[in-house]
Amino acid sequence: MGVLEAVVNKNTGKVKNNRSSDKVMEIVMYVFAVMFLVVLIYPLYFIIIASFSDPSAVANGQVWMFPKGFTLDGYQELLRHENIWIGYRNTILYTAVGTAIGLIVNISAAYALSRKDLVGRKFLSLFFIFTMFFSGGLIPTFLTVRDFHLYDTFLVMVLPFSVIVYDIIVARTFFQSSIPGDLWEAAQIDGCGNLRYFVQVVLPLSKAIIAVLGLWIAVGYWNSYFNALIYLKNPNLYPLQLILRNILITNQMQSGMGTGEAAQIALRLANLMRYSVIIVATVPILCLYPFVQKYFNQGVMIGAVKE
Amino acid sequence: MRSGQFAPGRTFGQIRRNWGLYVLLLPAVVLTLLFAYKPMYGVIIAFKDYSPASGITGSPWAGFKYFEKFFHSYQFSATIKNTLVISVYSLVTFPIPIILALMVNQMRANRFRRFFQTVSYMPHFISTVVMVGLMMILFSPSTGLVGSLYHLFGGEAPDLMGSAGLFSSVYVWSDVWQHVGWDSIIYIAALSAVDPSLYEAATVDGASRWHKVRYIDIPMLMPTAITLLILRVGGLLGVGFEKVYLMQNDLNITSSEILSTYVYKIGLLSSQYSFSAAINLFNTVINFVLLIMVNQISKKFSENSLW
């Protein structure tokens, strides 16, 4: 019976199936997908409209679909907070330098490990992979960093933890599957050394993996606060996330406020600023993302391939 | 040459010829030695009465004193229980990205599919600090979105962020919200590798769409799913520090104090280095043993294993 119901569409050559159970499944699926999208998007949308709304309207639950009592006070308040801009500057620096270091260190190691004629390849891979499952832990790592006089320096934010084994594995798999071995043979005959071959032949062919890892590493730096929390003392070195933590979570803005009407206004502004600070902190990284999005599936797919 | 592989002359020749590859590996190897392996050596302070003045080697041995101290402390069972509750609870949500991937794979409308994927990845790029800040704003019973929703239906909102009983649920489901789209990419990639002729054959045999999901898609995802599951179980006691620490407050502390936050407080906030290192080591060893066990079990009952 089923065979009769399977209809081959003559125009496209595609096999189509017109069972009613399939229709039901389709409808259920799309209803579910739309509900899922609403749950995902609405909180983000709410933050955006709330950041432009009168804070008391937000607090009274009057803001649902559109901003109410449009205002830019939250953003103006933000401009007055100097440490946010210091944090911004630091985060941009950490992200730029950290991503550059991370790409150089991980991509070159991954390429070397991808070469079948590398003597000691198995051992070297294990050398890295072991650190994924076993580590010294917080205190021994902290003591090591301190012994190297990296505590409370710019360098501690971009150098010590730039080796990311997972990224090395993904990139290694990429090189193995998409850089043909014959290319190296040919280059070798022409008298090209490994380093020149890597820079002039391999890297130009590897834009996809560079984009994927670059994004992963950059997002990691942009969003990290743990290392700053542990290894930084000087507020002038604080990255944005640490300052956000003070504003959003530990609520350190309200210090030094009196009582009375002025304090009320200050408190309302502080609440409003929490919405705008979320927007200002998140938008840059979201702007980066459409440009590299097409590489996501590719990157993950590469990483999923087993050796 | 009969034992070509072990001819020392050839091996050294090959190393010399490929010296460039070792140059590429050098930065990653040095950084890993200094910041991953050196701290592993530092783990021995867990067995010593470490004092910064006499250093790691100079400090006197303490045997298992600090381990016993931890086992006998009242925090022992509480932190382990909290850690386990959160991670086992997270394990329950493991199939959700798989379901999402199956759904995306069924979507025929290409535009909608792309939009759906783009939106579902987005929350992944929000930093942990902003995420927790977002939760605090939205979940506020007096001024937040959840509060407003309850008021709309005439109820009184629960204090989601300040409740010990709800801590694990809030933690786990907010994590699902943030990462489900991203986590599904790997399964979507696996599904895109399915041979289309399998579906065509199934259609000819009269399979409905549900049958295809059940008998083609799900079995195709099993190897990937099991590999990821092994890794998850191996990290059962490894619930991350970042988000839990940010979500902690006096009201939920009884169920939010986990091993990693405890290690941080004992070690860095109250400077009991050896005690903290001992707790950390205990945690790492259990994780390591779990990983090996789960891998062995999986090897025995299915064809999947990490090594």
Tell me what pLDDT residue A273 has: 86
Percent helix, percent strand, percent coil in chain B, to nearest 5: 75, 0, 25
Minimal-distance CA residue of chain B relative to A273: B137
User: Are A15 and B200 in contact, with CB atoms under 8 Å apart?
Assistant: yes
% of chain A exceeding 70 in pLDDT: 87
**Are A40 and B34 an interchain contact pair (Cβ–Cβ within 8 Å)?**
no
A304 has a chain B CB within 8 A of its CB: yes
Residues of chain B positioned with their CB less than 8 A from the CB of A156: none
B5 has a chain A CB within 8 A of its CB: no
Of the pLDDT bands very low, low, confident and very high (cuts 50, 70, 90), residue A21 is: confident
Residue A33's nearest CA partner among B103, B221, B101, B159 is B103
B25 has a chain A CB within 8 A of its CB: yes
Tell me what pLDDT residue B295 has: 83
Q: Which two tokens stand for residue B250?
A: 């006096």
**Pairing mode, strands A6-8 and A15-17:** antiparallel
A6 has a chain B CB within 8 A of its CB: yes
For B129, the closest of A19, A109, A249 (CB atoms) is: A249
Tell me what pLDDT residue A305 has: 47
Tell me what pLDDT residue A258 has: 55
Give me the count of residues in chain B: 307
Q: How confident is the model over B145-188, as pLDDT tens digits?
A: 888 888 888 788 888 888 899 999 999 999 999 999 988 988 88
- H or E element: which one contains B145? helix B145-152
**Are A1 and B208 an interchain contact pair (Cβ–Cβ within 8 Å)?**
no
Tell me what pLDDT residue B193 has: 81
Which pTM does this prediction carry? 0.87
Interface test with B, best of A139, A245, A282, A301 (most B CBs within 10 A): A139
**Are B34 and A144 an interchain contact pair (Cβ–Cβ within 8 Å)?**
yes
Residues of chain A positioned with their CB less than 8 A from the CB of B241: 226
* Spatial distance between the Cα atoms of A269 and A77, rounded to a whole number of angstroms: 7
**Are B136 and A139 an interchain contact pair (Cβ–Cβ within 8 Å)?**
no
Minimal-distance CA residue of chain B relative to A106: B28
Residues of chain A positioned with their CB less than 8 A from the CB of B15: 119
Give me the count of residues in chain A: 307
Residues 155-214 in A contacting B (C-alpha not used; CB under 8 Å) = 159-163, 168, 193-195, 197-198
Q: How confident is the model over A185-239, as pLDDT tens digits?
A: 889 888 889 999 999 999 999 988 898 899 889 989 999 999 999 999 999 999 9
Tell me what pLDDT residue A220 has: 92
How far from A226 is each of A90, A241, B243, CA to CA, in Å? 15, 9, 10
Q: How confident is the model over A105-164, as pLDDT tens digits?
A: 999 999 999 999 899 999 999 999 999 888 889 999 999 999 999 999 999 999 999 999
Kindly give the parts of chain B with pLDDT less than 70: 1-8, 306-307
Q: What is the Rg, in whole angstroms, of the alpha carbon atoms belonging to chain A?
A: 26
> To which residue do tokens 């009592």 refer?
A69
A253 has a chain B CB within 8 A of its CB: no
Tell me what pLDDT residue B5 has: 52
How far from A2 is each of A7, A16, B6, CA to CA, in Å? 10, 12, 62
Tell me what pLDDT residue B153 has: 84
* Spatial distance between the Cα atoms of A148 and A168, rounded to a whole number of angstroms: 25
B22 has a chain A CB within 8 A of its CB: yes
On the question of pLDDT at A7 being above 70, the answer is: no
Residues of chain B positioned with their CB less than 8 A from the CB of A163: 28, 31-32, 35-36
**Are B14 and A117 an interchain contact pair (Cβ–Cβ within 8 Å)?**
yes
Please state, as a whole number, how many other Cβ atoms lie within 10 Å of the Cβ of residue B26.
14
Residues 193-232 in B contacting A (C-alpha not used; CB under 8 Å) = 193, 199-200, 203-210, 224
Checking ipTM against 0.85, whether it exceeds it is yes
Tell me what pLDDT residue B254 has: 93
Q: How confident is the model over A77-106, as pLDDT tens digits?
A: 888 888 899 999 999 999 999 999 999 999
* Spatial distance between the Cα atoms of B272 and B214, rounded to a whole number of angstroms: 54
Residues of chain B positioned with their CB less than 8 A from the CB of A167: none
On the question of pLDDT at A12 being above 50, the answer is: no
Q: What is the Rg, in whole angstroms, of the alpha carbon atoms belonging to chain B?
A: 25
Three-state DSSP string of chain A: CHHHHEEECCCCCCEEECCHHHHHHHHHHHHHHHHHHHHHHHHHHHHHHHHCCCHHHHHCCCCCCCCCCCCCHHHHHHHHCHHHHHHHHHHHHHHHHHHHHHHHHHHHHHHHHHCCCCCCHHHHHHHHHHHHHCCCCHHHHHHHHHHCCCCCCCHHHCCCCCCCHHHHHHHHHHHHHHCCHHHHHHHHHCCCCHHHHHHHHHHHHCHHHHHHHHHHHHHHHHHCCHHHHHHCCCHHHCCHHHHHHHHHHCCHHHCCCCCCHHHHHHHHHHHHHHHHHHHHHHHHHHHHHHHHHHHHHHHHHHHHCCC
B238 has a chain A CB within 8 A of its CB: no
B125 has a chain A CB within 8 A of its CB: yes
The contacts found for B87-90 with CB under 8 angstroms, 24 or more apart, are B87/B235, B87/B236, B87/B237, B87/B238, B87/B239, B88/B236, B89/B168, B89/B169, B89/B172, B90/B172, B90/B175, B90/B232, B90/B239
* Spatial distance between the Cα atoms of A159 and A141, rounded to a whole number of angstroms: 14
Estimate to the nearest angstrom the gap between the alpha carbon of B76 and the chain centroid: 22
Min Cα–Cα distance to chain B from A3, Å: 5
- What is chain A's mean pLDDT, rounded? 84
Higher pLDDT, A199 or A270: A199
Tell me what pLDDT residue A297 has: 64
